[in-house]
Amino acid sequence: MTLETITLAHGAGGRETGEIIEKFFVNVFEIKRVSTGIGLDDLEDSATIPLSDGGHMAFTIDSYTVNPIFFPGGNIGKLAASGTLNDLAVMGAKPLAVMDSIVVEEGFEIKQLKEIISSMKNILEKYNVALIGGDFKVMPKGQVDKIVLTMAGIGLIPKNRLIKDSNIKPGDKIIVTGPIGEHGAAILIAQTGLEAEAPTIKSDCSPIIDAIEVAFKVGGIHAAKDPTRGGLAMALNDWAKKAKVSIIIWEEKVPLRDEVRAYSEMLGVDPFSLASEGIALITVDPDKAESMVEELRRKGYRNAEIIGEVRKGKEGYVLVETISGGLRILEPPIGEIVPRIC
């Protein structure tokens, strides 16, 4: 079929987003990387430029259009700062600096703008990351919905610390650092006006830098991901496709709070497809997995768990061993899962 118009599904982070990126960017641009760095066709969370000492400079950029802009557990500023740092961290980078570009609607409340910027400041300065510049524009009322915030980040990856999706190997164990789907559930509940009925469901948006540092300290880490748009399902399918492996997940091991499960079922959404903004997925040598989980728990990630493993055969497949003992294919999400989730 010929694509004639863009739909909301094309921005949802699932299969349709991937198709747009492949068709209009990856397959169109010929110069897609600098030297031997990571570039456009790698589709990683950050791109890199190699440095003369064997390290890499990492770059990332993302636009945030979340609705509502203030949600249980955070706001668009906290989300942008956390998401930018996380996209650097999962490549093995130590974040150094960010720049922002903010477009607001005429009539936007100064009080809200101050709160959003304060949230950004708190996250960035906690990790000693500089805001080194940016841009600010105003659109006439009705020509943009409240605020759109874009943030670019830069980080340094020391020599021998670069991790990427294609590094995953059969036998690797898959670790998750906390309960899945928290951010997606919080946004979904806010959009449907159910906050009062689900007061314990809040976005988990926060940096995962500390968790990634634990992983490097223990050793054996091969790849990491923050499962944002498309959730666990999209992240695992990306891994399986890029590394040409199959992945099996044990449903009973996946940390998922009962409240998130219940409201996901009520609203007809698979929690495996809901975004998380404060957990890391990590693949690690099997002989390091138990030690890594123990260290993560000791550092405050109480729900860290080994949830699956990487296997040979059935390249590109993700399977879930259900609680009842059956197997089902976990496919990349299709369609509009939760609009304007980040």
Q: What is the pLDDT of residue 1?
A: 58
98/197 Cα distance (integer angstroms): 37
55 and 105 both lie in a single domain: yes
Asked if residue 285 lies in contact with residue 220, where contact means CB atoms within 8 angstroms, the answer is yes
**Whether residue 123 is found in the same domain as residue 213:** no
What per-residue confidence (pLDDT) applies to 71? 96
Q: Would you say residue 27 lies in a domain?
A: no
End-to-end CA separation in angstroms for the chain: 29
Residues 130 and 188 in one domain: no
- pLDDT tens over the chain, length 342 residues: 577 898 888 887 888 888 889 999 999 999 999 999 999 999 999 999 999 999 999 999 999 999 999 999 999 999 999 999 999 999 999 999 999 999 999 999 999 999 999 999 999 999 999 999 999 999 999 999 999 999 999 999 999 999 999 999 999 999 999 999 999 999 999 999 988 888 999 999 999 999 999 999 999 999 999 999 999 999 999 999 999 999 999 999 999 999 999 999 888 899 999 999 999 999 999 999 999 999 999 999 999 999 999 999 889 999 999 999 999 999 998 877 778 889
Which residue carries 């988990």 as its tokens? Answer: 204
Rounded to 5 degrees, φ, ψ at 199 are: -70, -20
Q: How many distinct structural domains can be found in the chain?
A: 2
Closest to 90 (Cα-Cα) out of 70, 53, 62, 118: 62
Same domain (yes/no): 116, 198:
no
The whole-model pTM stands at 0.95
Q: Are residues 99 and 68 in the same domain?
A: yes
> Which of 105, 122, 157 corresponds to the end of one domain?
157
* Residue at 22 is within a domain: no
Rounded to an integer, what distance in angstroms lies between the CA atom of residue 199 and that of residue 18?
34
Q: How far apart are CA 62 and CA 83, in angstroms?
A: 8
Q: Are residues 172 and 74 in the same domain?
A: no
Domain span at residue 169 reads 165-329
Asked, for residue 9, whether it belongs to a domain, the answer is no
